[in-house]
Amino acid sequence: MDRNQSRRQISLMRQSLFDQGYLDEQFIQLEELQDDANPNFVEEIVTLYYRDSSRLISSIEQNLERNPPDFNKLDNIMHQFKGSSSSIGAKKVKAECALFREYCRAGNGEGCMKTFQQLKKEYGTLRKKLEAYFQLARQAGPAETASRPK
């Protein structure tokens, strides 16, 4: 694949992540923070997020197994997870977090469980998409990760 084709593909991939609602403006903030001193900043943050948030996912899983679940505790953990997800612009994940918290406040265990399944799905999908995006960007060269739509 020649360079121009690569660039176009990366740009399209990136745009579709926004168009399909996977990412929000916070991701653009991350791109703007990337510079020569921190050329892989966006990928670093995303990697950090997935590494760190896995413990929160496990914690929620454990707490959901309790009968009855401690909704207050679940809400607190989810607040943390939502905050973390917000910092990388994970739009769909964030939406599921908000829904989960609504169910917590309503004391609806089943609602929580269903939402959590959906959350994990979105979390996994985003991870795969971003991995593919970063891989392509790396192949094409460092300049591509900060490309903006025209």
Partner 1 sequence: MAALQTITQSSVSTGATSYNSCKGAASTSASAFEKVVPDQFPAGLRVLVVDDDITTLRVLEQMSRKCHYDVTTCSEATVALNLLRERKGCFDVVLSDVHMPDMDGYNLLEHVGLEMDLPVIMMSADGRTSAVMRGD
Interface residues toward partner 1, by CB under 8 A: 29-30, 33, 35, 37-38, 41, 44-45, 48-49, 52-53, 76, 79-80, 82-84, 86-88
Please give the structure tokens belonging to residue 90.
């994970």
Buried b (16+ CB within 10 A) or exposed e, 60-79: beebeeeeebebeebbebbe
Q: Which is nearer to partner 1, 84 or 145 (CB)?
A: 84
> What is Dmax (Cα atoms) for the chain?
58
Amino acid (1-letter code) at residue 40: N
CB of 31 to partner 1, least distance (A): 12
Q: Which is nearer to partner 1, 38 or 58 (CB)?
A: 38
CB of 26 to partner 1, least distance (A): 9
Contact 136, 10 (CB under 8 A): yes
CB of 97 to partner 1, least distance (A): 10
Q: Which is nearer to partner 1, 53 or 115 (CB)?
A: 53
CB of 84 to partner 1, least distance (A): 5
Contact 27, 87 (CB under 8 A): no
